[in-house]
Amino acid sequence: MTTTTPATPATPGGAAEVPSDGPSDGGFEALFEHAPCGYLTTTDGGRITRVNETFLTWTGHRREDLLGSAFGRLLPVGDRILWSTHSAPQLGTTGSVSEVVVEVVAADRSRRPALVTATRVPARAGADAEVRLVVFAAPERRAHEQELIAALHRAEESEDARAAAEGEARRLALADPLTGLPNRAGLAAHLGAALAAGRSDVGVLVVDLDHFAVVNESLGTAAGDELLLTVAARLGAAVREGAVVARLSADEFAVVERCEDVEAARGLAERLLEALTAPVVLDGLEVVASASIGAAVAPPGPGAAQRVLHDAAVAVQRAKARGRGRVEVHDPTRTGAAADRLRLLGELRRGIADGQLRLHHQPQVRLRDGRLVGVEALVRWQHPTRGLLAPVQFIELAEQSGLVRELGAWVLDAAVAQAADWARDPGCATVEVAVNLSTRQLTDPGLVEAVTTALSRHRLPAHLLVLEVTETSLAADPATAAATLVALKELGVGVSVDDFGTGYASLTYLQRFPVDELKIDRSFVTGLGASDGDTAIVRACVQLAQALGVRTVAEGVETEQQREALAAMGCDVVQGYLFSRPVAADAVQQWARERTGTTAQPAT
Ligand code: C2E
Ligand code: CA
Ligand code: CA
């Protein structure tokens, strides 16, 4: 475990923050302030009463902002729910919780993985009960990566150096003690050897288990170990002969296998994902081991091992950011040479002008009566040579370059036109159309006018349009976002908070924003009914929405079991492959005609 060291010299805090039972010579104060871990105390109700300098340095928060505020506010929504539904009650009954894995949101909104241990000290004469929290920075993955890269550098220098690096790696223990798989050093040695042999078809997949911390926390480390062993065995069974499976860190595995190109790597990643998502029974409870997978193929030339590992690591981060439980492939055309990106960007700009964008629509079904109440419009690009491209293949580029404004304008107009078309069809006259807004669109001063223009141009009643904004984009510039949402509300347009639970939207923000709907992220829905942690999170999201008086939509519903669990919790609307994949407009009309007034029929 790595701990933090304060970046600033010792400066004891004000008298109010110093433990009252400490000696008065300042020695204890300095120890408290500059201990190698974060240290906080809270009231029984979770309000912060003291915080040490180490924690402030680590997170960038100011002492005056933290004192008196709730500890839970320092956690992203998912972790906050975990804290308030699991850890805090346990603390009240047993008096302590140890090593709860959470992320702490720093002042700059970046997240710091942390291990929190808390102890409750009962009320004594003259002192109220308090809770003492010790916060350690969780193991820094980057440090491991640096070591690995250094070893690879050495390995690539010469045959001798490689042999030496391999020998060193072997001495460092090539195997992970729990699973017996190669560890990071072992993987580096294998990868170095494969590339040194001149192979040009080496694929690397990084497999990161989603919410592993929740399993460990709710079922205990023995169950966590069992899950890891199951995952190791499943990965081993799913790869081809000659492939290497390694364990990189607590919940992170890697596979090195022969892959001719990125599509082969994607195919392999999808196979692995499928192998992993079969339920595992732990401690009598069924758990779904959902994972995020990043894949990359080694580029030609020197430094290949280092680049392919980096590319796979970046891809897996993207998979997690995009909602977990998914595969992301490092596509050299997207992140490769500036010239390639520029070409693709040019093609996209022309493609938008030439009418190559398409909209697919995914039905949203009301649980109460199974009626089709809306659709989400999802963009596709019919590329002249590369076929129908999914948003993941071009949205990021559009977002980074600013072209997402033109793309977003096209989507808005096309979706409103489509909705107006349906509004005139008695079979689906009440179907709402939801449109995704990028952060740039949300902060664009012309947004409200663009929406107004589209509505009046196609004569669509405003209440049939819903705009989906992510939690993250609301938090990016809350003041502007709030003003924009108020203006949209005045128009009568609905607002939905997308990917809810994955970002950092404080409850205060949510109350301030006039939103109509929370869309519970797919990563939580996946584990519903199978994982205790995910079930608790989804239930808390539904309750939160009910408390705020807004509708809940659950996305990514794939099984009957998930549908039933959502219905039992009182979730309003569901969307997912169980009902339909995103489809073309005429298929929606057909769908509406068949399902209007009937109970929800799972897709066949
Ligand atoms: P999102 O807004 O979270 O959209 C939901 C994604 O989940 C869609 O992927 C949908 O096909 C997929 N999905 C729905 N149900 C299920 C299910 O049961 N199982 C699984 N495994 N997946 C399901 P898609 O169409 O590839 O879109 C990906 C993302 O691209 C969207 O995520 C959204 O962030 C972005 N996007 C799509 N269209 C637009 C657009 O017009 N504008 C902007 N700015 N972003 C868009
Ligand atoms: Ca969406
Ligand atoms: Ca979403």
Q: What is d(CA 93, CA 502) in angstroms, rounded to the nearest whole number? A: 29
In sequence order, what E strands does 430-480 have? 432-436, 465-470
Lowest average pLDDT, out of 13-27, 39-53, 445-459, goes to 13-27
More confident residue, 583 or 325: 583
Rg (CA), the chain: 26
Ligand 1 pocket, mutate which of 276, 277, 334, 395 (most atoms under 8 A from CB): 395
Region 499-518: mean pLDDT is 72
Strands 202-209 and 291-297: antiparallel
How far does residue 70's CA lie from ligand 3's centre (Å)? 28
Greater pLDDT, 216 or 425: 425
pLDDT digits (tens, 9 = 90+) for 118-155: 888 888 888 888 998 988 876 543 344 345 445 555 55
Residue nearest to atom 29 of ligand 1 (CA): 391
If DSSP codes are grouped into helix, strand and coil, which group holds residue 448?
A: helix
Output the 3-class SS for 305-342.
HHHHHHHHHHHHHHHHHCCCCCEEECCHHHHCCHHHHH
Q: Which atom of ligand 1 is nearest to the CA of 578?
A: 18
- Cβ partners under 8 Å of residue 178, min gap 6: 225, 228, 229, 247
Number of DSSP helices (H) and strands (E) in the chain, helices first: 25, 21
User: If one looks up domain 12-173 in CATH, what number appears?
Assistant: 3.30.450.20
Which single residue is written with the structure tokens 């009252």? 20
Please determine, for residue 600, whether its predicted confidence score (pLDDT) is greater than 70: no
From the CA of 593, how far away is ligand 1's center (Å)?
24
The Cα angle at residue 279 between residues 273 and 285, in degrees rounded to 5: 145
Q: Look at domain 352-595 and name its CATH class.
A: alpha beta
CA of 202 to the centre of ligand 3 (A): 33
Task: Identify the helix (H) or strand (E) that includes residue 555.
Answer: strand 551-555
Q: In angstroms, rounded to a whole number, what is the distance separating the alpha carbons of residues 200 and 444?
A: 45
DSSP structural state of residue 283? T
Q: What's domain 184-330's architecture?
A: 2-Layer Sandwich (3.30)
Do 552 and 319 contact (CB within 8 A), yes or no? Answer: no
Cα separation values, 195 from 142, 192, 255, 308, Å: 23, 5, 15, 11
Fold match, 12-173 / 184-330: no
pLDDT at 220 over 60: yes
Angle (CA) 128-133-139 rounded to 5° is 180
Q: Is the dihedral of CA 345, 346, 352, 354 positive or negative?
A: negative
Other Cβ atoms closer than 10 A to 171: 9
Q: How far is the CA of 348 from the centre of ligand 2 (A)?
A: 21
Instruction: Compute CA distances 596 → 370, 586, 591, whole Å.
Output: 8, 15, 8
Which ligand is closest to the CA of 520, given by its number?
Answer: 3
Can you give the pLDDT at residue 155?
55
Ligand 1 atom with the smallest distance to the CA of 323 is: 3
Nearest residue (CA) to ligand 1, atom 11: 582
Nearest CA to ligand 1 atom 10: 582
Residue with the smallest CA separation from ligand 1 atom 21 is 556
Residue 57 to residue 61: CA distance in whole angstroms: 7
**Considering every ligand atom, which ligand is closest to the CA of 469?**
2
Nearest CA to ligand 1 atom 12: 556
What are the pocket residues of ligand 1 if the criterion is a CB atom closer than 6 Å to any ligand atom?
Answer: 323, 362, 378-379, 390-392, 395, 404, 408, 411, 436, 438, 498-499, 555-558, 576-577, 582
Beta strands in 194-243 (DSSP E): 202-209
Which residue's CA lies nearest to atom 22 of ligand 1? 556
Which helix (H) or strand (E) segment is 102 a member of?
strand 96-105
Atom of ligand 1 nearest to the CA of 411: 41
Average pLDDT, the chain: 82
Nearest CA to 579 out of 558, 594, 554 is that of 558
How many whole angstroms separate alpha carbon 532 and alpha carbon 543? Answer: 16
Please state, in angstroms and rounded to a whole number, the distance separating the CA atoms of residues 203 and 221: 32
Work out the pLDDT band at 410, boundaries 50, 70, 90. very high
**Ligand 1: which residue has its CA nearest to atom 28?**
391
Structure-block tokens of residue 357 = 């964008």
By most ligand atoms within 8 Å of CB, the mutation choice from 412, 435, 436, 558 for ligand 1 is 436
Identify the residue whose tokens are 């979730």: 571
pLDDT at residue number 164: 60
Domains of the chain, residue spans: 12-173, 184-330, 352-595
- 51 or 120, higher pLDDT: 51
Q: Are 314 and 330 in contact (CB under 8 A)?
A: yes
Atom of ligand 1 nearest to the CA of 575: 15
Q: Label residue 404 left, alpha or beta by phi (over 0 means left) and psi (-120 to 50 means alpha).
A: alpha
Question: What is the distance between the alpha carbons of residues 2 and 14, in angstroms, rounded to a whole number?
Answer: 28
How far is ligand 2, taken at its centre, from the CA of residue 281, in Å? Answer: 32
Q: Relative to the CA of 325, which ligand 1 atom is closest?
A: 21
What is the 310 CA–ligand 1 centroid distance (Å)?
Answer: 26
Closest C-alpha to ligand 1, atom 15: 576
For residue 182, the 8-state DSSP code is: B
- Regarding pTM above 0.75, the answer is no
Please, which residues have CB less than 5 A from ligand 3, an ion?
Answer: 498-499
Share of the chain above pLDDT 90, in %: 39
Residue environment code for 371-388, b if the CB has 16+ CB neighbours within 10 A, otherwise e: bbbbbbbbbbbebeeeee
**Average pLDDT over every residue of 470-486:** 83
- Which letter, b or e, does each residue of 536-547 get, where b requires 16 or more Cβ atoms within 10 Å of its Cβ? bbbbbbbebbbe
- Residues 63-114 have pLDDT tens digits of 999 999 989 889 876 677 667 766 777 787 778 877 677 789 899 888 888 8
**Which has the higher per-residue pLDDT, 197 or 20?**
197
**Which has more pLDDT, 532 or 163?**
532
Query: What's the CA angle centered on 110, arms 104 and 113, to 5 degrees?
Result: 40
User: How many Å from the N-terminal Cα to the C-terminal Cα in the chain?
Assistant: 49
Rounded to 10 deg, the angle between the 184-196 and 141-157 helix axes is 30
Q: How far is the CA of 519 from the centre of ligand 3 (A)?
A: 7
- Pick the more confident residue, 423 or 537: 423
Q: Give the Cα separation of 528 and 530 in Å (integer).
A: 5
Which ligand number lies closest to the CA of residue 502? 3
pLDDT tier at 34, thresholds 50, 70, 90 = confident
Q: Give kind and range of the element (H or E) at residue 158.
A: none
Which bound ligand lies closest to the C-alpha atom of 407? 1
Cα(486) to ligand 1 centroid in Å equals: 26
Which residues line ion ligand 2, judged by CB < 5 Å?
A: 436, 468, 498
Cα 314 from Cα 320, distance rounded (Å): 10
- Dihedral, CA of residue 294, residue 297, residue 299 and residue 304, to nearest 10: 70
Maximum mean pLDDT: which of 132-136, 172-176, 209-213, 236-240: 236-240
Count CB neighbours of 263 within 10 A: 12
For ligand 2, the distance from its centroid to the CA atom of residue 468, given in whole angstroms, is 6
Give 157 or 142, the one with higher predicted confidence. Answer: 157
CB-hemisphere CA count at 13 Å for 334?
A: 20
- Identify which of 274, 472, 499, 555 to mutate to test ligand 1's pocket (most ligand atoms within 8 A of the CB): 555
Nearest ligand 1 atom to the CA of 391 is 30
> How far does the centroid of ligand 1 lie from the alpha carbon of residue 322, in Å?
9
Distance 476 CA to ligand 2 centre (A): 18
Q: How far is the CA of 396 from the centre of ligand 1 (A)?
A: 13
User: How remote is the CA of residue 555 from the centroid of ligand 3, in Å?
Assistant: 7
Average pLDDT, integer, range 279-283: 78
Ligand at shortest distance from the CA of 388: 1
Q: What is the pLDDT of residues 336-391, one digit of tens each?
A: 555 667 788 899 999 999 999 999 999 999 999 999 999 999 999 999 999 999 99
Share of the chain above pLDDT 70, in %: 83
Sequential DSSP letters for 342-402: HHHHHHHHHHHHTT-EEEEEEEEEETTT--EEEEEEEEEEEETTTEEE-GGGTHHHHHHHT
Reported as a pLDDT band with limits 50, 70 and 90, residue 171 is: very low
**pLDDT value at 42 more than 90:** yes
Query: How far away, in angstroms, is 258 Cα from ligand 2 center?
Result: 35
pLDDT tens digits, residue range 285-324? 777 778 999 999 998 877 788 788 888 988 888 888 776 7
> Counting atoms of ligand 1 from 1, which one is nearest the CA of 441?
44
Q: Partners of 296 in the beta sheet?
A: 204
| Ligand number nearest to the C-alpha of 403 | 1
Residue identifier of the C-alpha nearest atom 35 of ligand 1: 391
Q: pLDDT at residue 511 above 50?
A: yes
